[in-house]
């Protein structure tokens, strides 16, 4: 038995293995395999993302890469719309699992198996996007939500005080899963419309006053949640770097391509600097309010735009020196930077006291408008890259200066 317990320590790790004084060894083995969900949002001190959470996020790297490829291969208005409507449920899947883990994660064997099953469905999402297989994509999204429902069913059975919230989440995830399953029986624009409806249901229910009251009654671990959002932002910023590398490779390391790839990277570095220099996650302290909802959901257009920006940079780097981009690619490149800057403006406005919120938001609009204006100019791809890089770098410089001078007002 001692050997068995020792093996459990090695396999499941020290965090899963807690021996209480006088605890029977059989109970130790049982607890390592199945632990009841516990409320972890109020735990004191810093809490890092677990190895399982990092592995989970890594699977989303593949999904994001495939979504970028989808946009790259279909740079049209319809292609951009399909890209966005496919990206949002993937991101909402990450949101659902991340908030569950923040509040109730036990990291025992049973929850790890649920997490691994979720990862398998994310891999299914990625593969179906790569093959443009809408039926398989919808099924993968539906299965993910059923697995989230299973996790919340465990909460329902284990934490009576949180049963109301768990019931709502089980119901929401189950209903949306059924609608995703139902979408496989229709085709074309009708299927896309169904997807739009189910996305609206999932987001809309979370914004209901009753939903926000229930969320507000269950504490979160703020530093852990802010770290998870930061990690996902890093993932999509990494995709822009990958896109630049691919663009240089396709251009066979032509000198001009290398130079303008570096210019393109300036936009990625600037967005990284703006986000991680300025964003604190302060609204999450009152998770039941509207400001945290704005803070969370503003990350959707942010990551969608950053991923699209990588696609635009890749195309621009590969374009022959002096040639203009086609209009759709121009709008993707300039529009993506504008949307990313606008999304960050919403995030920062949510972190700002009400008396300063409009000023903080409007202070970022000039960069947004300049990016859009640059996209309308009849200039070469390389000139557009330089102009957008200058806009992004200038906004980063302003934000860094403002933040370090303490001139950016914060809510508490």
Tokens representing 388 are: 């957008």
- The span from the CA of 240 to the CA of 74, in Å, is 18
The 10s digit of each residue's pLDDT in 155-210 is: 998 888 889 999 999 999 999 999 999 999 999 999 999 999 999 999 999 999 98
In this predicted structure, the answer to whether residue 15 has a pLDDT above a threshold of 60 is no
pLDDT at 205: 94
Q: Which residue has the higher pLDDT, 150 or 318?
A: 150
pLDDT at 373: 95
SS3 159: coil
Closest CA to 399 of 274, 238, 245: 274
Going by pLDDT thresholds of 50, 70 and 90, the confidence category of residue 399 is confident
Tokens representing 132 are: 């443009």
Could you tell me the maximum CA-CA distance found in the chain, to the nearest angstrom? 77
The 10s digit of each residue's pLDDT in 332-367 is: 999 999 999 999 999 998 988 877 788 888 888 999
pLDDT at 410: 56
> What percentage of residues in the chain have a pLDDT greater than 70?
88
- The span from the CA of 379 to the CA of 311, in Å, is 19
Going by pLDDT thresholds of 50, 70 and 90, the confidence category of residue 411 is low
Cα distances from 383 to residues 239, 285, 324, 372, in angstroms, run: 23, 43, 9, 14
pLDDT at 17: 40
DSSP 287: T
Closest CA to 92 of 206, 226, 238, 245: 206
Contact partners, residue 137, CB within 8 Å, separation at least 6: 86, 124, 125, 128, 129
**Whole-structure pTM value:** 0.88
Q: What is the arithmetic mean of pLDDT over 69-98? A: 94
- The span from the CA of 62 to the CA of 127, in Å, is 9
In this predicted structure, the answer to whether residue 281 has a pLDDT above a threshold of 90 is no
- The Cβ-side half-sphere exposure at 311, using a 13 Å CA radius, reads 29
In this predicted structure, the answer to whether residue 331 has a pLDDT above a threshold of 50 is yes
First and final C-alpha spacing in the chain: 52
Going by pLDDT thresholds of 50, 70 and 90, the confidence category of residue 252 is low
Tokens representing 114 are: 């649920």
- The span from the CA of 399 to the CA of 238, in Å, is 22
Cβ-contact 251, 317 below 8 angstroms: yes
Cβ-contact 151, 106 below 8 angstroms: no
pLDDT at 23: 47
Per-residue b or e along 306-334, where b marks 16 or more CB atoms closer than 10 Å to that residue's CB: bbbbbbbbbbbbbbeeeebbeebbbbbbb
In this predicted structure, the answer to whether residue 8 has a pLDDT above a threshold of 50 is no
pLDDT at 134: 92
Helices (H) and strands (E) in the chain, counts: 17, 0
The 10s digit of each residue's pLDDT in 368-393 is: 999 999 999 999 988 999 999 999 99
């Amino acid at each position: 038995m001692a050997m068995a317990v020792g093996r459990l320590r090695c396999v499941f790790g020290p965090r899963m293995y807690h021996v209480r004084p006088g605890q029977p060894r059989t109970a130790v083995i049982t607890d390592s395999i199945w632990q009841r969900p516990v409320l972890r949002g109020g735990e004191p001190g810093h809490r890092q993302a677990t190895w399982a959470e990092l592995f989970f996020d890594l699977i989303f790297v593949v999904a994001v890469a495939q979504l970028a490829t989808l946009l790259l291969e279909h740079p049209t208005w319809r292609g951009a719309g399909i890209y966005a409507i496919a990206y949002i449920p993937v991101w909402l899947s990450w949101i659902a699992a991340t908030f569950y883990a923040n509040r109730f994660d036990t990291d025992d064997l049973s929850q790890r198996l649920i997490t691994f099953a979720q990862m398998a469905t994310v891999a299914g999402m990625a593969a179906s996007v790569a093959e443009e297989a809408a039926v398989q994509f919808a099924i993968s999204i539906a299965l993910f939500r059923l697995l989230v429902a299973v996790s919340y069913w465990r909460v329902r059975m284990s934490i009576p005080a949180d049963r109301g919230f768990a019931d709502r989440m089980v119901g929401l995830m189950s209903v949306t899963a059924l609608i995703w399953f139902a979408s496989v029986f229709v085709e074309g624009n009708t299927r896309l419309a169904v997807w739009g409806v189910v996305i609206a249901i999932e987001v809309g229910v979370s914004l209901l006053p009753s939903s926000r009251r229930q969320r507000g009654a269950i504490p979160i671990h703020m530093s852990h949640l802010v770290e998870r959002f930061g990690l996902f932002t890093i993932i999509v910023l990494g995709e822009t770097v990958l896109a630049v590398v691919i663009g240089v490779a396709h251009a066979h390391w032509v000198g001009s391509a290398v130079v303008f790839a570096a210019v393109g990277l300036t936009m990625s570095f600037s967005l990284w600097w703006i986000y991680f220099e300025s964003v604190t996650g302060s609204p999450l302290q009152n998770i039941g309010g509207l400001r945290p909802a704005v803070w969370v959901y503003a990350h959707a257009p942010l990551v969608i735009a950053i991923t699209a920006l990588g696609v635009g940079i890749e195309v621009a780097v590969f374009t022959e020196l002096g040639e203009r981009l086609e209009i759709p690619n121009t709008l993707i490149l300039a529009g993506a930077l504008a949307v990313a800057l606008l999304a960050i403006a919403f995030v920062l406005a949510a972190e700002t006291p009400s008396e300063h919120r409009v000023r903080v938001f409007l202070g970022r609009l000039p960069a947004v408008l300049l990016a859009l204006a640059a996209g309308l100019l009849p200039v070469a791809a390389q000139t557009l890259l330089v102009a957008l890089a200058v806009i992004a770098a200038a906004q980063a410089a302003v934000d860094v200066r403002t933040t370090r001078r303490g001139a950016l007002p914060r809510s508490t």
